[in-house]
Amino acid sequence: MDPLMRRAIITGLLGGAAVTHIGLIGMIDAFQSRDTIADVLTLGALLPILIALLIGWRSGGPMRTPHLVPTNRHAILLGAVGGAVTGLVIAALALFTTTVDVRWILSNASPSLAEELWYGQGPALGSILVVLVSAAAGAAGAALHVVPGPVARALTVGGLTAILVALMEPFVVAVLRNIGLRILEDTFYAQGGLTLIGFVLVFAITAAGTYAWAIRGRETKQRVAAMPPDRRRTGKLVVYFMLAAFLLLLPQIVGSRLSEVVGTVGLYILLGLGLNIVVGFAGLLDLGYVAFYAVGAYTTAVLTSAASPAFSPELPFFGALPFVVVAAMLIGLMVGTPVLRLRGDYLAIVTLGFGEIARILFLSAWAQPLVGGAQGILSVPPPIPFGRDPQSIYYPILFFCILAAVAARSLQGSRVGRAWNAMREDESVAEATGINTVTYKLLAFGLGAAFGCISGALFATKIGTVFPVSFDLLVSINALALIILGGMGNIAGVIVGALVLVGLPELLREFSEFRLLIYGVVLVAMMLLRPEGLLPSRSRRAELHEREDAEDQYEDEAGEKTGQPVVTT
Partner 1 sequence: MTTSGALTGVTVQDAILRADKVTMRFGGLIANREVDFVIPRGGIVSLIGPNGAGKTTFFNQLTGMLQPTSGEITFEDTSLVGRSPHEIVELGVGRTFQNIRLFGAMTVLANVMVGHHVRMKASWWGSLLRLPAVRAEEEATRQRARELLDMVGLSRRFEEDWAKNLPYGDQRRLELARALASEPKLLLLDEPTAGMNPGETAQMTELIKRLRDELDLTVLLIEHDMKVVMGISERITVLDHGELLAEGKPDEIRANPSVIEAYLGKGATTA
d(Cα 197, Cα 200) in Å, to the nearest integer? 5
Beta bridge partners of 466: 377
Count the site residues for partner 1 by CB under 8 A.
46
Q: What is the dihedral of CA 160, 166, 168, 170, to 10 degrees?
A: 180
d(Cα 221, Cα 223) in Å, to the nearest integer? 5
Q: What is the dihedral of CA 543, 544, 546, 548, to 10 degrees?
A: 120
CB contact set of 378 (below 8 Å; sequence gap of 6+): 305, 307, 464, 465
Nearer to partner 1, 322 or 387 (CB): 322
Which of 72, 107, 375, 436 binds partner 1 (CB under 8 A)? It is: 436
Of the candidate spans 112-120, 223-231, 250-258, 425-433, the one that interacts with partner 1 by CB under 8 A turns out to be: 425-433
**Would you count residue 204 as binding partner 1 (CB under 8 A)?**
no
Please state, in angstroms and as integers, the Cα–Cα distance from residue 523 to each residue in 267, 288, 365, 510, 519, following that order.
21, 20, 38, 21, 6
**Would you count residue 435 as binding partner 1 (CB under 8 A)?**
yes
The 8-class DSSP code of residue 434 comes to: T
Minimum separation from the CB atom of position 44 to partner 1 (A):
44
Which of 271, 443, 479, 480 binds partner 1 (CB under 8 A)? It is: 443
Minimum separation from the CB atom of position 536 to partner 1 (A):
11
Output phi, psi for 296, to 5 deg: -60, -45
Binders in 540-569 for partner 1, by CB under 8 A: 540, 542-543, 546-547, 549-550, 553-554, 557-558, 560-561, 563-569
Of the candidate spans 17-25, 203-211, 231-239, 423-431, the one that interacts with partner 1 by CB under 8 A turns out to be: 423-431
Of the candidate spans 73-81, 237-245, 332-340, 433-441, the one that interacts with partner 1 by CB under 8 A turns out to be: 433-441
Minimum separation from the CB atom of position 567 to partner 1 (A):
5
Which of 215, 428, 474, 525 binds partner 1 (CB under 8 A)? It is: 428
Nearer to partner 1, 68 or 432 (CB): 432
Nearer to partner 1, 428 or 512 (CB): 428
Minimum separation from the CB atom of position 326 to partner 1 (A):
14
d(Cα 148, Cα 258) in Å, to the nearest integer? 38
Which of 64, 434, 528, 548 binds partner 1 (CB under 8 A)? It is: 434
Cβ-count burial of 97 within 10 angstroms (0-12 exposed, 13-18 middle, 19+ buried)? buried
Which of 433, 516, 520, 521 binds partner 1 (CB under 8 A)? It is: 433
Minimum separation from the CB atom of position 325 to partner 1 (A):
13
d(Cα 463, Cα 7) in Å, to the nearest integer? 52
Of the candidate spans 124-132, 252-260, 391-399, 430-438, the one that interacts with partner 1 by CB under 8 A turns out to be: 430-438
**Would you count residue 407 as binding partner 1 (CB under 8 A)?**
yes
Instruction: Report which of 537, 543, 273, 342 is spatially closest to residue 425, judged by C-alpha positions.
Output: 543
**Residue 190, SS3 per DSSP:** strand
Output phi, psi for 431, to 5 deg: -60, -45
Minimum separation from the CB atom of position 403 to partner 1 (A):
10
Nearer to partner 1, 35 or 543 (CB): 543
Which of 390, 417, 448, 487 binds partner 1 (CB under 8 A)? It is: 417
d(Cα 60, Cα 58) in Å, to the nearest integer? 6
Which of 149, 414, 469, 527 binds partner 1 (CB under 8 A)? It is: 414
d(Cα 309, Cα 368) in Å, to the nearest integer? 8
The 8-class DSSP code of residue 63 comes to: B
d(Cα 322, Cα 457) in Å, to the nearest integer? 11
The count of residues in the chain is 569
Nearer to partner 1, 67 or 561 (CB): 561
**Would you count residue 225 as binding partner 1 (CB under 8 A)?**
no
193, containing H or E segment: strand 193-194
How far is CA 260 from its chain centroid? Answer: 19
Which of 72, 234, 375, 410 binds partner 1 (CB under 8 A)? It is: 410
d(Cα 412, Cα 430) in Å, to the nearest integer? 16
Which of 28, 157, 335, 422 binds partner 1 (CB under 8 A)? It is: 422
Exposure letters 42-70 (e unless 16+ CB within 10 A, then b): bbbbbbbbbbbbbbbbbbbbeeeeeeeeb
Nearer to partner 1, 64 or 415 (CB): 415
How far is CA 286 from its chain centroid? Answer: 18
Of the candidate spans 45-53, 193-201, 369-377, 408-416, the one that interacts with partner 1 by CB under 8 A turns out to be: 408-416
What is the per-residue binding string for partner 1 in 520-539, x denoting contact by CB under 8 A? -------------------x
**Residue 68, SS3 per DSSP:** strand
Q: Write the secondary structure of 76-137 as one string of H (helix), E (strand) and C (coil).
A: HHHHHHHHHHHHHHHHHHHHHHHHCCCCCCCCCCCHHHHHHHCCCCCHHHHHHHHHHHHHHH
Minimum separation from the CB atom of position 168 to partner 1 (A):
37
Which of 432, 516, 525, 527 binds partner 1 (CB under 8 A)? It is: 432
Which of 92, 205, 238, 429 binds partner 1 (CB under 8 A)? It is: 429
Minimum separation from the CB atom of position 443 to partner 1 (A):
6
Binders in 92-121 for partner 1, by CB under 8 A: none
Minimum separation from the CB atom of position 413 to partner 1 (A):
8
d(Cα 40, Cα 133) in Å, to the nearest integer? 14
**Would you count residue 33 as binding partner 1 (CB under 8 A)?**
no
Minimum separation from the CB atom of position 546 to partner 1 (A):
6
Nearer to partner 1, 376 or 446 (CB): 446
The identity of residue 265, as a single letter, is V
Nearer to partner 1, 101 or 546 (CB): 546
Which of 389, 431, 472, 506 binds partner 1 (CB under 8 A)? It is: 431
The identity of residue 277, as a single letter, is I
The identity of residue 434, as a single letter, is G
Give the angle 416-420-424 at the CA atoms, nearest 5°: 170
Task: Give the footprint of partner 1 on this chain (CB under 8 A).
Answer: 407, 410-411, 414-419, 421-422, 425-426, 428-437, 443, 447, 539-540, 542-543, 546-547, 549-550, 553-554, 557-558, 560-561, 563-569
